[in-house]
Amino acid sequence: MAALIAGATGLVGSELARHWTGPGDLVLLLRQAGKAPAGPRLRPLQVDFTALPALPQAEEAFCCLGTTIKQAGSQAAFRAVDFDAVLAFARAARAAGVRRFGVVSSLGADSRSGSFYSRVKGEAEAALSELGFDSLAIARPSLLAGDRAALGQTARAGERLALALALPLGRLLPAAWRPIQASHVARALLRAVREGRPGRRVLGSAEMQSLGAP
């Protein structure tokens, strides 16, 4: 049976698609099918996240959708991606038979946070928890490291500066705050969803450093 992924053109999503070995195909839900990663088990499907069609039957799904307020242009546009589109995909996946769901959230996600970004991430996590998945894996990475240029994405100035300051410190930083490679997050989420522990499981950066190791 197929698995589903939304957000396969981003840092984590592209790594997850790259590491996909089955069983079954990985159906990539994309706004623009021409940007799909290529692979023998990867099947692109162009969709509108504001009006998703019935999705192929699947047992697993991965949500790697996400933007920033600066990229989105406003708080409302950010919420449309990081809450509305995430929940729309999760509901459509549930309707398609998905029992195990993995999502990339963020360090500090909290529905009661004073930070708009962290609050929306926390609200999305809470809403996902109510959808009835047998297993829900939530990845909360710290600062993501990866090659955005290779994906045709503009480097984020704040992210670039933070990485330049944090990476040289390496293991001097606590594992929970240390920058983490997108490939580690992708492998950790794949393994956690495949393991399928009942209920909700939150993966912090410290755990993903080891769980997502090659």
> What's the CATH number where 171 sits?
3.40.50.720
Q: pLDDT grade, residue 146 (50/70/90)?
A: low
End-to-end CA distance of the chain: 26
Residues 89 and 49 sit within 8 Å (Cβ to Cβ): yes
Name the token pair of 181: 């490679």
pLDDT tens readout for residues 62-86? 999 999 898 899 999 999 999 999 9
Residues 6+ apart with CB under 8 A from 25: 2, 3, 41, 42, 43
What's the mean pLDDT in 135-164? Answer: 70
Residue 18, φ and ψ in degrees, nearest 5:
-65, -30
Q: Say which amino acid occupies 92.
A: A
So what's the pLDDT on residue 109? 96
So what's the pLDDT on residue 148? 57
Cα-only R_g, the chain: 16
Q: pLDDT grade, residue 156 (50/70/90)?
A: low
Residues 17 and 8 sit within 8 Å (Cβ to Cβ): yes
pLDDT tens readout for residues 19-61? 998 889 999 999 886 677 888 899 999 999 999 999 999 999 9
Domain range spanning residue 31? 2-211
203-206: long-range pairs with CB below 8 Å, 24+: 203/137, 203/138, 203/139, 203/140, 204/107, 204/140, 204/176, 205/107, 205/140, 205/141, 205/142, 205/175, 205/176, 205/177, 205/178, 205/180, 206/174, 206/175, 206/176
Q: Say which amino acid occupies 189.
A: L
Cis peptide, bond prior to residue 53, ω within 30 of zero: no
Domain count, the chain: 1
Position of tokens 């609050």?
119
